[in-house]
């Protein structure tokens, strides 16, 4: 057996703690479960590569979200257009059913609606709204991740929410 | 925050709560990360799935394949070889392009799963298998499963059930083979893959009920195929002298017959979706058992206790029950071929260790037992023993060290969903025997296992087992001993 890296246990503890929130963030940003899984895996793989080289990570959560954000930006740079209708309408495995079939349908409809609305919000507002409301981060925490001032972040959140509100209102 | 936006915030939060990483996905990515860390290199296999690459570069690659064929990138290239990634992610991918229709491509990807596992077994046989090579092949194995699952999504529910069922049979057989070869990492990886495939199969089975296809014709076609497979298996087994393998295989053939008979009853009742599920279950069991049987002969783990005396003794002890009038060879363990399978038209082998194990446990605790029941009764049983064990409405899997039940079908009563099925008892016994390194050949071996599981201390006991009243254990042991 190869010798285990001293930080390996700590790394997997972080994985247990943050994998779900990193995945959720990626999912709401890219609207594709498989891509989100890949991005989540790459986020942790890159984080591991970083710490393995002897670099320190002070705030693991913030670091993970920073890496995830960079990967998402890369993804959009490379990405060709993706049919949102296909993603939202045909993605039958996208949600873990939490209750019975009827409740699941309602939940899926809600998720689909929010994701469609989020798609219509432009970056960087979409990023700010996702970090704030999907990931539950404070404007200060977001500012550390995106490298902007907390004030700028608050403005972005507000504008994003405004746009989202308008789009969701149209669906009602 | 502005009240005006409260509803929007709430909508996002509700949506957020309904999206989460499933346990299987989490475990899968964790496994991938573990492999990445252990190999310290990421094997990139995703690039070829890009359509632009596939179509633009394919002609050039086909030429490369031809050149590859004459420059030594051969099928015998194994994990760890420098050209192995070229073989799998280039040569095989290009060959995959020749399979234009989805069904043909699905069959090709299934072959590739077999290939990856065969490569690992070959390396193990030559003593050259290490964790890096394991990891390299398993990354590709996952990829093949992913391709099958994503491509079969566009197919009709009955094709999806068949495809997932076939993959499951392959993985289950291989999981047993690697248990025999004592390759824990590969085995655990396969267990995780099986759980994933079982869930997909269950979803496809659910979709059958709303299928618009002519299920009656499909059911009859699958019935014929199941019957043929069973007959073929019986013919092969009746000529075999692989005692241990025969026992392990014949019990599953017996369960396959039961599933097929159940399917027949559904056909009579006009419930064709249920019939398809049962016929596929029968086929799955035959395929799994015969793959295991073939591998057992190939890797010689079925030959450890073969002797002509043992075979004669076994046949003398075997009580042949012939109820129907179908011709049965008197010296055969299995029924001879018959196109029409009746429920009582096959030979029961009462000395099967698997059936004995199931009967003993059910006599002890009742028929509707769940893992916790056995964990409480047997201090020597471990949660990991239940990995891959099938329940009425799902499958048990160990995720991050904890036993979890992954639901695959909605069963009205959640308690009965967790009840272990007959197929599950086979898995449970295989898992325990493998952990205790006890070869399963006779009911005496099962008694030995049960006796070890009764112990609170010693080599097989759980260190964290709660203390039990010794008198209770005595009673349980008495019950077990009475059976002998």
Chain segment B201-214, per-residue pLDDT in tens: 888 888 888 877 78
Q: How is residue B53 written in tokens?
A: 């690459």
pLDDT band at B479, cuts 50/70/90?
very low
Q: Would you state the pLDDT for residue B414?
A: 62
Predicted model pTM = 0.49
Phi, psi of B430 (to 5 degrees): -60, -45
Strand, coil or helix: what is B420?
strand
Which of A27-36, B55-64, B324-333, B450-459 has the least mean pLDDT? Answer: B324-333
Residue with token string 């005496």: B444
Kindly tell me if the per-residue pLDDT of B325 is higher than 50: no
Residue B470: pLDDT above 50?
no
Q: How many beta carbons lie within 10 A of that of residue A16, not counting itself? A: 11
- State residue B464's pLDDT score: 42
Average pLDDT over residues A13-37: 87
Q: For Cα atoms B194, A101, B205, give the angle at the middle one, nearest 5 degrees.
A: 40
B459 vs B438: CA distance, rounded Å: 13
Over range A47-56, report the average pLDDT. 84
- Higher local confidence (pLDDT), B2 or B324: B2
pLDDT of residue A93: 37
Q: Which residues of B touch A10 (CB under 8 A)?
A: none
Could you give the residue ranges of the DSSP H alpha helices within chain A? Answer: 8-30, 33-52, 60-78, 84-90, 101-119, 125-129, 139-146, 150-171
A7 vs B: CB within 8 A: no
How far apart (Å, rounded) are the C-alpha atoms in residues B180 and B298? 12
* A153, A142 Cβ separation under 8 angstroms: yes
Is the pLDDT at B197 greater than 50, yes or no? yes
What distance in Å separates the CA atoms of residue B200 and residue B189, rounded to the nearest whole number? 17
For residue B412, the model assigns a pLDDT of 54
Q: pLDDT of A52-100, one tens digit each?
A: 878 888 888 888 988 998 888 888 776 644 433 333 333 333 333 333 4
Confidence (pLDDT) at B335: 31
- Highest mean predicted confidence (pLDDT) among B68-72, B309-313, B450-454: B450-454
ipTM > 0.90 (yes/no): no
Interface contact B15-A1, CB threshold 8 A: no
Q: CA–CA separation, A155 vs B396, rounded Å?
A: 48
Question: Would you call B33 and A48 a contact, using CB atoms and an 8 Å cutoff?
Answer: yes
Rounded to the nearest angstrom, the minimum Cα separation between A93 and chain B is 9
Of the listed ranges A29-38, B2-11, B253-262, the one predicted with least confidence: B2-11
Q: What is the pLDDT of residues B347-389, one digit of tens each?
A: 334 456 777 888 888 877 777 788 888 888 888 888 888 888 8
Residues forming a β-bridge with A126 = none
pLDDT classification of B342: cutoffs 50, 70, 90 = very low
DSSP letter, residue A131: I
Structure tokens at B253: 């053939």
Q: Which residues of A touch B32 (CB under 8 A)?
A: 41
Angle at B253 between CA B247 and CA B255, to 5 degrees: 105
- Measured between beta carbons, which residues in chain B are less than 8 angstroms from residue A8? 37
Is the per-residue pLDDT at B469 higher than 90? no
Mean pLDDT of chain B: 72
The confidence score (pLDDT) of residue B167 equals: 92
Beta bridge partners of B391: B394, B420
- 8 Å CB contact of A48 and B11: no
A52: closest chain B residue by CA: B37
Average the pLDDT over each of B34-43, B220-229, B454-463 and give the range with the smallest value. B454-463
Residue A153 pLDDT > 60: yes
Q: How far apart are CA B32 and CA A44, in angstroms?
A: 11
Q: Which of A49-53, A108-112, B110-114, B153-157 has the lowest mean pLDDT?
A: A108-112
Residues of A in contact with B46 (CB under 8 A): 38
**Per residue in A146-167, is it b (16+ CB within 10 Å) or e — as a string?**
bebeeebbbebbbbbbbbbbeb
């Amino acid at each position: 057996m190869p010798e285990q890296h001293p930080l390996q246990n700590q790394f997997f503890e972080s994985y247990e703690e943050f994998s779900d929130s990193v995945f959720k963030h990626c999912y709401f940003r890219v609207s594709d479960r498989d891509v989100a899984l890949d991005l989540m895996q790459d986020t942790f793989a890159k984080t591991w590569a970083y710490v393995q080289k002897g670099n320190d990570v002070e705030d693991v959560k913030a670091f993970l979200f920073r890496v995830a954000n960079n990967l998402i930006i890369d993804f959009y740079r490379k990405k060709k257009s993706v049919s949102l209708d296909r993603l939202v309408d045909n993605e039958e495995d996208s949600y873990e059913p939490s209750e019975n079939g009827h409740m699941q349908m309602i939940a899926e409809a809600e998720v689909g609606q929010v994701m469609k609305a989020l798609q219509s919000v432009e970056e960087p507002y979409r990023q700010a709204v996702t970090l704030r409301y999907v990931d539950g981060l404070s404007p200060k925490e977001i500012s550390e991740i995106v490298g902007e001032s907390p004030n700028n972040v608050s403005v972005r959140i507000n504008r994003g929410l405004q746009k989202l509100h308008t789009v969701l209102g149209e669906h009602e | 925050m502005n009240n005006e936006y409260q509803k929007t915030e709430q909508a996002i939060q509700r949506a957020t709560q309904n999206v989460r990483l499933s346990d299987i996905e989490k475990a899968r990515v964790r496994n991938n990360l573990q492999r990445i860390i252990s190999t310290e290199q990421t094997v990139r296999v995703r690039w070829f799935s890009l359509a632009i690459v596939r179509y633009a570069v394919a002609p050039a690659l086909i030429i490369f394949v031809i050149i590859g064929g004459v420059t030594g990138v051969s099928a015998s290239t194994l994990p760890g070889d420098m050209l192995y990634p070229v073989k799998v992610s280039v040569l095989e991918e290009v060959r995959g392009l020749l399979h234009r229709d989805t069904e043909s491509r699905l069959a090709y990807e299934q072959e590739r799963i077999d290939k990856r596992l065969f490569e690992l077994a070959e390396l193990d046989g030559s003593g050259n298998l290490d964790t890096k090579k394991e990891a390299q092949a398993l990354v590709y194995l996952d990829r093949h499963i992913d391709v099958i699952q994503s491509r079969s999504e566009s197919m009709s529910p009955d094709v999806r059930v068949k495809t997932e069922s076939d993959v499951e049979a392959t993985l289950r057989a291989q999981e047993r083979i690697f248990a025999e070869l004592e390759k824990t990492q590969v085995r655990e990886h396969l267990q995780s893959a099986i759980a994933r495939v079982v869930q997909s199969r269950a979803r496809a089975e659910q979709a059958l009920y709303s299928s618009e296809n002519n299920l009656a014709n499909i059911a009859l076609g699958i019935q014929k195929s199941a019957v043929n497979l069973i007959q073929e298996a019986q013919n092969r087994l009746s000529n075999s002298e692989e005692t241990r393998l025969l026992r392990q295989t014949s019990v599953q053939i017996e369960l396959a017959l039961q599933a097929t008979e159940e399917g027949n009853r559904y056909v009579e009742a006009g419930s064709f979706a249920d019939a398809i599920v049962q016929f596929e279950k029968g086929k799955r069991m035959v395929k799994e058992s015969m793959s295991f049987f073939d591998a057992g002969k190939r890797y010689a783990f079925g030959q450890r206790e073969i002797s002509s005396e043992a075979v004669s003794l076994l046949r003398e002890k075997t009580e042949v029950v012939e109820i129907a009038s179908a011709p049965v060879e008197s010296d055969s363990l299995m029924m001879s071929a018959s196109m029409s399978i009746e429920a009582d038209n096959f030979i029961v082998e009462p000395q099967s260790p698997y059936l004995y194990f199931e009967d003993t446990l059910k006599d002890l605790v009742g028929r509707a037992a769940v893992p916790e029941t056995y964990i409480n009764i047997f201090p020597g049983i471990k949660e990991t023993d239940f990995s891959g064990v099938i329940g009425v409405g799902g499958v048990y899997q160990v995720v991050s060290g904890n036993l979890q039940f992954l639901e695959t079908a909605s069963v009205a009563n959640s308690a009965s969903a967790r009840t272990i099925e007959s197929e599950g008892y086979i898995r449970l016994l295989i898992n325990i025997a493998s952990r205790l390194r006890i070869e399963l050949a006779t009911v005496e071996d099962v008694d030995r296992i049960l006796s070890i599981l009764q112990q609170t201390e010693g080599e097989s006991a759980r260190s964290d087992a709660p203390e039990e009243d010794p008198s209770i254990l005595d009673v349980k042991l008495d019950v077990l001993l009475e059976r002998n």
